[in-house]
A and B are shown apart, each in its own frame.
Chain A
């Protein structure tokens, strides 16, 4: 059987997927002060993983990223709900958020907010949902 040689696709994929993942993390973190956030960050991450699936095939990627994407959905939901419930401990209304300024060695003073944790929950859920949809359709024979 004739097998295509997709060397160019694979080489560029390694580079582009890496940049996409980096940009996805940037979008996730930048969400508070610039356009971005958990949703678009999650979509871009899923896009990068999907690109790897297209270039390297299912088996190779499953070896590279040994995650069951379906379980990311409840984990993401649990993180998001957990941030809401956390306010119960401090006797605040549900979903109250707080923030503080912390000084780090290299970055200097940074504002950290609990809303970020909620965004991480959204991020995980979006990655899980998108990958579950695509992989379910792809593996359907």
Chain B
């Protein structure tokens, strides 16, 4: 039944509404959160299996035919991302009770958590550009609430910045949609793509496309527009940072991937050339940020930016290899960023500080945490048996195949520096003499380890089981290269 496509939006929405009623009762909230996150994960897995077996799932909401109503489209790319989103959400749901949220759990933390998942899933599934804007707002509203929850002084300062920049880019988003609607006269993405194709993407449409790119680049934190991200992402609780780092920027990058593989694909020499330069600059500036600081949370937050650079690099090169690399890296990065934020959250919790200079010798007290960080660093940098490797290999093959030598070399050097920035946490934080005076080892990390290990196991599986995952990703890349597949499946012509 076609109603399958709405389940990833509907289940978290119902969960959020239900949890508002149980706000006062933390025990019930926790149990329900875990239950709903597992139900949602199960539904996502079933939908993904269905989409892989029987092709794209289309839902015409309200029984209105294609360009007139809002269409929900679960193609293979959307299915992959929904499953990843739900995996991250489930891990965070199991981590949250141990994350030291304290009083925040009484102030609608769990409903906002599910509203965030609703928005993210909706943005991945929708086939309508204005509906995409609405789901962006749903997830941003929930993220405003989550970032300010608790009301510390720094939190208030950073949330003002976060709110202003996102409000501005949302306004620009609406303006872009207005421009596009004035030119093509439709809001359905497949129908827009068809009409842009008919007029061969004339000058004004390329301009609108680049404006769209700036909107999504603000959400995704690409080179000139990333300055709001690092400091605002480290202020809330680690479990909230993990959700933000894993999901929010990835929605922006998914929108770029969708819009620039479906709608604006007729002037690659202008748009996609721009992406390559922005990718190079994002990698360089992001990794410089990660090397510049001794705050472990900030190191991870800055590491989001080069990762986004890697993904946009694949979109810029725009061939089969590079696009499958981008998709692989996108899925890998969502999982590993969530794991890393949860790990540094646990480290900051046990060490009582997030300053790297004030800790040392933690491996004597928390061996499991140390080795998880070690594996996570290898996964992130792309050491062969792990998942970061396959994505980067594909990206580099794509870049070399297209003769983008500067891009490929920047990417390689960036990978090295990313490894250094994470290993710095391991070496300075975990190595060293046992320091009896510092008072480490008193806090328990039981309950935090399991969700982290689950996420890391997934990324190891993604790397070791590459032969199973690669054909799926390659077919996603193939369908991205041929927008006609998407258009035909939605408009049924």
Contacts and interface: CB of A to CB of B under 8 A. Distances in A.
A96 B21 contact: no
A93 B59 contact: yes
Interface in A71-87: 71, 73-74, 77-78, 81, 84-85
B58 to A, nearest CB: 10
B114 to A, nearest CB: 12
Contact of B17 (A74, A84, A91, A92): A74
A76 B20 CA distance: 12
Nearest to B20: A74
Interface in B1-19: 1-3, 6, 10, 13-14, 17
A92 B6 CA distance: 12
A88 to B, nearest CB: 6
Given A73-B20, A74-B21, A96-B62, A91 B14 contact: no
B61 interface: yes
B17 A93 contact: no
| B: interface residue count bin | 10 to 19
Contacts of B1: 91
A91 B1 CA distance: 8
A8 to B, nearest CB: 41
Interface in B103-138: none
* Interface of chain B: mostly helix, strand, loop or mixed: helix
A88 B21 contact: no
| A: interface residue count bin | 10 to 19
B20 A94 contact: no
B17 A94 contact: no
B467 interface: no
A93 B20 contact: no
A95 interface: yes
B493 interface: no
Contacts of A10: none
B5 to A, nearest CB: 8
Given A71-B20, A93-B2, A94-B3, 7 more contacts: A78-B17, A93-B61, A93-B63, A94-B6, A94-B61, A96-B61, A96-B62
